[in-house]
Each structure stands twice: as structure tokens, then as C-alpha cells.
Amino acid sequence: MTNLDLAEWFSAFIHILLTYTLITLLHLAVPAHHVRGYVHDGPKFYRLNGLRVFFIVSLSFIICIGYFQYLDIRYLIRLRMKHSICACILGLIFTFLIVLPFKQNSSSFWLDIYLGRLKNPQLFFNRTDGKILLYLIGGIGLELNLILFYFQFAQENKPMTNIIVYVILFSFFTIEYFYHEYVHLYTFDFIVEYVGFKLVWGCLVFYPFFYPITIWCQIHPTSLSFTRQCFSIAVFFLGWILSRGANNQKYLFRTQPKARFLGVFQPISINGRLLCSGWWSISRHINYLGDTLMATGLSLAIDGGIYPWLYPLYYVALFIARERTDNERCQEKYGRDWEEYCRRVPYRIIPFLY
């Protein structure tokens, strides 16, 4: 290994470590909303300030890199692979730190490593929830990679509507996630998952480096036709309406069971336990279709060959498996009510198809 190589590895490691440290410190210091969660074995209140931290870090990055040019953009892009490998290594180290010291959870050591032993680890003297912090690092990491991807082409002065539409839509995806951070306390990851390799590595490596898989591809900046722009944006926002609508409707039902969603949709439920109106009457996991359509809209926008399609394809595989797991969980939890729900809403994810 040459000296130059070593220096680059060192820089990459420091960049990743500094980013994690900065996000963590900001998360601990910036004023937060204290929100009650859904799980009873979790913290009484979650400290949520994701959107604020997101904007502080992203805007600082844009100003430092794009305006003051404290770091050379080309240098950062050259380090991309090294950044991702450092994130992998740190992801492994954090996995061991969050799993090994704690009581065995399953019969297999490796299953414990993969799925985790703690469901709701509280960190920094109980000031923050481990899952919240992991999602924060993952979401912001994703955004920083998108910003860098934009700057990579912005200097070339070529038409690049494909890149602009892609970056704007994907940034919308991350911003609106943090805007609705409290809603995600009611999702599978917070209700069911433990914190092990799957979640730690997912947040530190998969979100920032695989979701925007396009950053790794040979993308040619082009001017998308108006029809193509409209089509990709329409698919993306159709997905958003399905996903956000379902998640927010469920949140409202859990927090104010009698309230009309968006002031219009009267909740109809099975014994007050399972919603079967509005978004939850279209299919049993219409939100999964929504997220997949959002990913499809992104791949359509970038117009970058086959590889960007791995992101929506990954969703298809993830959601088919997750729906099955959730179905078993709900069958066990709700029994007859779940059977009745399946009878009234027969489709798992895609209405009339699946």
C-alpha cells in the first residue's frame, strides 16, 4: 500500500467518524420534541429533532463544500468507495458493541448478532434512543451522498435535469421522513425489531450507500424529456400518497381512534383494533406498494441503465418477506379480528394482483 493510499484511507475513516460524531452531538444538543412512543417496553419519551439536525448538517455541508470549497469535491468522490468500506467496518464494530455485552436473546450466537439482543437501547445516559440515532445517521448520510452526487455534475455546465429531478425527489423522501419522525415510532422497525447487525448495518451502510445506488453508476447528465420528467414525478408522488397516507392514517387511528383522517375519512375498524377504511381498505400493506413506487419514480428519473433499478427491486424482495412476517405477527396478535380483516381486505400489497 502506498503512502498516498494510506493517507486516503485515514482521511476516509476520519470523515466517516467525524460525520457520526457531529450528528450524535447535534442530536444530543439541539432542542427536541419529547414524544411518547407506541411500544410499552421502550422509553417513556423519545427525543426527536431529526429535521433540525438534518438541515444543520446538510446546509453546512453545502456551504463548506459548494461555496467555501474547504474540501475538494473530486477528492471526496474519489474516496467514495473508501468511505463506504469504513462505514462497513464501523457498522460491524457498533454491532458488536450493541450486542455482545448483553444477555443472550436466542439459541444462536450468530442470530443474536444479526437480529440483536436489545429492543430499545437507550444511549448517553438515557438521553437518546439508539434506533432514532441510527436512523438519523442513515438518513443524513444518504443526503450527504446525494449532495455530493449533485456537485459532481454541477461543475460541468451540461444539461442535467435527470440528476436534478433525482436529487430533489430523493431529498424530498429524506426530508419528509424526518418531518414525520414521530409517525415512524408506530412502524415495524420500532415495534418489532431488535438492534443488531441488520439494523445497525442497514442504517450506517445500506441507507447512505445502497439506496442511492445511482451514485456508483456511470450516469450521463442529460436533459429529460418533459413527458419523462412528468411521468417519473407522477409515479414518485403517487407512491408517496399511498405510503404517507397509510402511515399517517394508522398513526391517527392509534393516537385518536375516533378522529377523521385529513378531516374527511371516518375511521371504520374491526372491534376498534384494526383499521379497514381509507388507505387500509385498498390492500393490507398499501404503504409497501407506495414506497416501491417512490423508488421506481427515482429510477425512472435518473435514466441510468439497469443498476439504478436494483433499489426498487430490493424493496420488492424486502416487502414481500416483511409482509409475510407481519401477517404472522398480526394473526397471532389479533386472531379472529385479523381473519376478518383479511376477508374484508383480501389483497396483501397490490390491489387486484397480490
The footprint of ligand NDP (CB under 6 A) covers 187-188, 191, 243, 247, 250, 253, 274-275, 280, 285, 287-288, 291, 322, 326, 329-330, 333, 341
CB closer to ligand NDP out of 79 and 200: 200
Helix (H, G, I), strand (E, B) or coil at 46: strand
Phi, psi of 159 (to 5 degrees): -65, 135
Give CA–CA dist 38/41, Å, rounded: 9
Helix (H, G, I), strand (E, B) or coil at 36: strand
Give CA–CA dist 156/158, Å, rounded: 6
CB of 149 to ligand NDP, least distance (A): 19
CB of 60 to ligand NDP, least distance (A): 25
Q: What CA–CA distances, in Å, run from 93 to 197, 201, 352?
A: 10, 10, 45
CB closer to ligand NDP out of 161 and 248: 248
Query: For residue 147, what is its C-alpha cell?
Result: 449532495
CB of 127 to ligand NDP, least distance (A): 25
CB of 287 to ligand NDP, least distance (A): 3
Helix (H, G, I), strand (E, B) or coil at 269: strand
CB of 130 to ligand NDP, least distance (A): 17
CB-CB contact of 17 with 84 (8 Å)? no
CB closer to ligand NDP out of 15 and 250: 250
CB closer to ligand NDP out of 143 and 291: 291
CB closer to ligand NDP out of 228 and 322: 322
CB of 184 to ligand NDP, least distance (A): 7
Q: Which segments within the chain are labelled E, that is strand? A: 33-36, 45-48, 122-123, 128-129, 269-270, 274-275
Give CA–CA dist 234/184, Å, rounded: 24
Phi, psi of 21 (to 5 degrees): -65, -45
CB closer to ligand NDP out of 118 and 330: 330
